[in-house]
Structure 1
Amino acid sequence: MATISQPPAQGSSPASARRRVTQPAGPAKTAYQPQRATSFAIIEQAQKGVPTQQVDQLAELLGISFKEMAIVLQVAERTLHRFRSEGQLDQQTSERLLLLENLTAHGLLVFDGRAEALADWLRYPLRELKGQAPLQWLNTISGFSLVDDVLTRIEYGVYS
């Protein structure tokens, strides 16, 4: 974890102050950590609508482009931009985003919290998915289930 440099104390040299800095201080960024939710919780949250900032946070975490995110959420890019200006997703788009968030939380558990490993895995063609990458299956609800099943097999060490 980075430490923030403190101003040098009275009588201390600038060189000793520089030694205390381990990393330059930058803007504080809160880490987005998706959480798994029950089916009931997903339905309830989807009915209320999900803030669009979650789309950006999840896309950044998984290294998914805006265009790819629109495909996963099954909306046109223009519609996704419109949702951004409104600040909230509609019910169907919210549900898909929450399913992706659930899948991401499971993937982070399987890959020991390494988002970059999960992002790479999502793009890697798998024999279990007919030679396609998991990301390619996330355009249907059944695809989410298939990909989650593969994560569960990895989690429990069951290889096909």
Structure 2
Amino acid sequence: MAAAPKSYKKKAKVTMVAELIAPYQSLYGNSISLLTSSKKGLSAKAALDFIALSGFSKEEFQDTFKTNVKTIQNYASNSSKLDAPLSEKLLKSFSLFDKGIDVFGSADAFHQWLNMPSYGLGDQIPFDLMDTITGISLIEEELIRIEYGDLA
């Protein structure tokens, strides 16, 4: 069987990314929604959706979110909710990836940028900052500067 044309694969991937992120967009659309949704707690499935969206390895996810993927999988199988701090960090990360995909054109390109030193972040690797809410905010600010061409 012949491989699918590249354009089909690209469209399928774009569709998958859109389907993964869409259910969460209204939850981080503004600060009040983000706060309310975080306090209620996200479904553990949200963490698994983020792993699929982000392209993070299990180790990258565990380092960034300070939780074990196996624990998340157990929570998901029990339909458990995540605590407020983890829910907030996930929603901020979904928002960050939404912006990053918009700026760079794909989740893959954004993931690649996350792993390269960024001048606007003091030559730090953006991924290394994602383990805190402040770090995520700094990355968002850098994305806005990139979007508007303010790289100085």
Matched, 1:32 2:20: yes
Task: Tell me how far 1:81 sits from its aligned partner.
Answer: 4.5
Matched, 1:97 2:90: yes
What is the aligned counterpart of 1:67 among 39, 59, 62?
59
Q: CA RMSD in A?
A: 2.4
Task: Tell me how far 1:76 sits from its aligned partner.
Answer: 4.6
Matched ranges for 1:39-54 at <5 A:
39-54=31-46
CA distance in 1, matches of 2:115, 2:75: 26
Q: Which structure 2 segments of 5+ residues have no match?
A: 9-14
CA distance in 2, matches of 1:105, 1:43: 18
Q: Please say which of residues 132-141 and 73-82 is displaced more in the overlay.
A: 73-82
**Rg: which structure is higher?**
1
Task: Tell me how far 1:159 sits from its aligned partner.
Answer: 0.6
Amino acid at match of 1:97: L
CA contact (8 A) 2:20 2:49 kept: yes
Alpha-carbon spacing, 1:132–1:86, altered in 2? closer, same or farther (3 Å): farther
Matched, 1:152 2:144: yes
What is the aligned counterpart of 1:108 among 101, 105, 109?
101
TM-score (norm 2): 0.76
Task: Tell me how far 1:71 sits from its aligned partner.
Answer: 2.4
CA contact (8 A) 1:128 1:150 kept: yes
Amino acid at match of 1:107: G
Q: Which structure 1 segments of 5+ residues have no match?
A: 1-20, 24-28
Question: Aligned to 2:42, what secondary structure does the other structure show?
Answer: coil
Percentage of matched positions with identical amino acids: 29
Matched ranges for 1:108-127 at <5 A:
108-112=101-105, 114-127=106-119
Aligned residues: 134
TM-score (norm 1): 0.72
CA contact (8 A) 1:70 1:80 kept: no
Question: 2:50 maps to what in 1?
Answer: 58
